[in-house]
Each structure stands twice: as structure tokens, then as C-alpha cells.
């Protein structure tokens, strides 16, 4: 299936609208990119959202595990076909265009699908290492999907002896940091689905029981537990910062903006005194726009 230019533009516009609706902080960062890169990121975001919806949409929540597993198998087959050049819908067309313009490997996409398979059977995570694997699969992979779109600054590769720096570790770290932030923001929502992503070893360490979490108890143990989790997420954000300097000049500002704004959700959790059971932590529109010049200044240095 090949879409005419006008139809392809319309398909990318649909991706833009969906990104703007469901990922407001992320979307703001994408607007700072050149058009071709912007559209590619929107396409990748929508592919990731479609993957996530196979497990987490309200409709999917009512389906039996066997049916969800079959859906993931079919989605994997469709993804393999996409990378082989066979598409049958608008999303496939924009993804095919993205892959042609910004060549990349299929493995991160398959790894993300594997992360969704974890949600079929994993409702608890014994250790942080278990959770880290999950975070890599459902979010660290996004860094690998998008790093080729962002590109590397030519200043590091222009000399004959230059070797392009590897931004993979930093890209994965940013994805993991973002997912840890999502988990901390969404503790209350996830418990309603019967899922607890906070590592069981950490609950035990801070003396906060699963029953306490399900009841939404706000006490000293909860605040200490959450303080520890926020610090861990900030450390993953710090790991990701080292790679931003390698990115192409037109990508550094958007990435710094997205990184700083998403990290701001951690500050918002502190401002609501860790009460993620009754309040949703978010960065206000005013704060988002106020941070743009700060991120711009950071982006000017390597």
C-alpha cells in the first residue's frame, strides 16, 4: 500500500493530533523539531500508543488473557511485515515513510511488544532489576526508536578520524526515567487495575505493605518510600543528560525541553506531598513555557 502525498500528509496530521491529545508535555518538545523529524516522532509515538492500547485500553481490560496474547502475536506479525515493506493502513504508511527517511532496527519494536507481554502475567515486580527490564522494554526502546531521527551533531563526525558517538545508553536511560516517572505518577490508577509496579523489595524495606498501598494510606513510610523512588528516577534522568550533547543541533533543544519538563513531574509529586492516590501530578502550562528559554540555553552548549 502506497499513499499519495496528500493522503500521507493527512495520515501524519492524524498522528500529530493524537500526540497532541495524549502526550501534551512530549508534544510540546516535538514542536521544536524540524518538520520531517517532527512528523517521524509523531508516527513513532502513535505506533507505541497502539502497542500500549493492546493491553491498557479500557476495552482491552475486559478481554481474557488468551485473547490479549493473540492480539500481541498479530501485532508482532504486522510489525515484522512493516519492516519488510508491507503495509495495509495509514499508520503503516507513515511508519514506512519514517523508516525509509530514518533507517532503524526492528529490535526495539519487538522488545516493546515483549514488554506488553509482561503485562499479561506480571502484576508485581519483586526487585528493581525486574522493573528495570520492564521499563526498558516499554519505554527505553522509545529512545532507541527515536535516536536515529534526532541524529548526531556533525561536529563530532566531520573529521575523517571521527567515530560517531553512541547515544544508545543515554537514549535508553531517558526512556527508563520517563517510565519510572509514569509509574510514580500513576500509582493510584495502576492499583485500580490490580497492578503494583513499585518493587516488592522496596515496599518491604520501608515497611509499607501492599494493603497500605491498596488502601492509599499516606504515612511516614509512604513518604520515605516515595522519596527513595523519586531519587532513583532523577538518577536515571541524570544518566540521560550525558548523551544530549551528542545530538544534532536541531534536536538538542527539543530533547532538553522534554527531559526537563518530564522530570518536573517528580517535583509536582513532591508538591502534592506524595498523594498520588487522590491527585494527579503535572507540570502547568505556564511552567512549561517558562522553561523553554532555560532548555534553549542548555542546548547551545556541547
Q: pLDDT value at position 135?
A: 98
pLDDT at 6: 74
Residue ranges in 165-219 assigned as alpha helix (H): 168-185, 187-191, 200-205, 210-215
105 near 82, Cβ under 8 Å? no
Strand partners, 247: 152
In this prediction, residue 25 carries a pLDDT of: 85
Q: How far apart are the first and last CA of the chain?
A: 42
User: Do 131 and 118 meet the contact criterion of CB atoms below 8 Å apart?
Assistant: no
The pLDDT score that the predictor gives to residue 301 is 74
User: How far apart are alpha carbons 254 and 289 in whole angstroms?
Assistant: 13
Instruction: With H, G, I as helix, E, B as strand and everything else as coil, classify residue 131.
Output: helix
Q: pLDDT tens digits for the chain (302 residues)?
A: 556 667 999 999 999 999 999 998 889 999 999 999 999 999 999 999 999 999 988 888 889 999 999 999 999 999 999 999 999 899 999 999 999 999 999 999 999 999 999 999 999 999 999 999 999 999 999 999 999 999 998 777 765 655 667 899 999 999 999 999 999 999 999 999 899 999 999 999 999 999 999 999 999 999 999 999 999 999 999 999 989 989 999 999 999 999 999 999 999 999 999 999 999 999 999 999 999 999 999 988 75
Query: Which pLDDT belongs to residue 278?
Result: 96
The C-alpha atoms of residue 274 and residue 271 are separated, in whole angstroms, by 7
Q: What are phi and psi of 72, to 5 degrees?
A: -65, -40
Distance CA 198, CA 60 (A): 23
* Whole-angstrom distance, CA of residue 150 vs CA of residue 138: 20
Write out the three cell numbers for 234: 532523577
**Residue 188, Cα to own-chain centre: how many angstroms?**
19
* Residue 136 neighbours by CB distance under 10 Å: 22
Rounded distance, CA 92 to CA 142, Å? Answer: 17
Q: How far apart are CA 95 and CA 145, in angstroms?
A: 11
Q: Work out the angle at residue 235's Cα, subtended by the Cα atoms of residues 302 and 46, and round it to the nearest 5 degrees.
A: 75
The pLDDT of residue 4: 60
CA distances, 192 to each of 53, 177, 299 (Å): 17, 23, 40
Exposure b/e, 253-290, CB count within 10 A at least 16 = b: bbbbbbbbbbbbbbebbeeeebbbbeeebbbeeeebee
Angle 282-251-290 from CA coordinates, rounded to 5°: 40
CB of 136 closer than 8 Å to CB of 176: yes
pLDDT the model gives residue 105:
96
Amino acid at each position: 500500500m502506497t499513499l499519495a502525498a496528500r493522503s500521507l500528509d493527512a495520515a501524519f496530521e492524524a498522528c500529530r493530533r493524537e500526540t497532541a491529545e495524549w502526550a501534551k508535555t512530549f508534544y510540546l518538545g516535538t514542536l521544536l523539531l524540524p518538520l520531517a523529524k517532527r512528523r517521524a516522532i509523531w508516527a513513532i509515538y502513535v505506533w507505541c500508543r497502539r502497542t500500549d492500547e493492546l493491553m491498557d485500553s479500557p476495552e482491552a481490560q475486559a478481554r481474557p488473557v488468551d485473547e490479549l496474547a493473540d492480539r500481541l502475536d498479530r501485532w508482532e506479525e504486522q510489525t515484522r511485515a512493516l519492516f519488510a515493506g508491507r503495509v495495509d493502513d495509514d499508520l503503516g504508511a507513515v511508519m514506512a515513510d519514517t523508516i525509509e527517511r530514518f533507517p532503524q532496527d526492528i529490535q526495539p519494536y519487538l522488545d516493546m511488544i515483549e514488554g506488553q507481554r509482561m503485562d499479561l502475567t506480571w502484576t508485581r515486580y519483586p526487585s528493581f532489576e525486574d522493573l528495570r527490564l520492564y521499563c526498558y522494554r516499554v519505554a527505553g526502546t522509545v529512545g532507541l526508536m527515536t535516536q536515529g531521527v534526532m541524529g548526531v551533531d556533525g561536529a563530532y563526525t566531520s573529521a575523517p578520524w571521527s567515530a560517531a558517538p553512541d547515544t544508545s545508553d543515554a537514549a535508553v536511560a531517558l526512556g527508563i526515567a520517563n517510565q519510572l516517572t509514569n509509574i510514580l505518577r500513576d500509582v493510584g490508577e495502576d492499583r485500580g487495575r490490580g497492578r503494583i509496579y513499585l518493587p516488592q523489595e522496596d515496599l518491604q524495606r520501608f515497611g509499607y505493605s501492599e494493603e497500605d498501598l491498596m488502601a492509599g494510606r499516606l504515612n511516614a513510610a509512604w513518604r520515605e518510600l516515595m522519596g527513595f523512588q523519586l531519587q532513583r528516577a532523577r538518577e536515571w534522568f541524570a544518566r540521560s543528560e550525558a548523551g544530549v550533547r551528542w545530538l544534532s543541533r536541531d534536536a538538542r533543544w527539543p530533547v532538553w525541553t522534554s527531559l526537563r519538563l518530564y522530570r518536573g513531574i517528580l517535583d509536582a509529586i513532591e508538591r502534592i506531598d506524595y498523594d498520588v492516590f487522590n491527585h494527579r501530578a503535572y507540570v502547568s502550562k505556564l511552567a512549561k513555557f517558562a522553561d523553554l528559554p532555560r532548555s534553549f540555553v542548555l542546548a547551545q552548549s556541547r
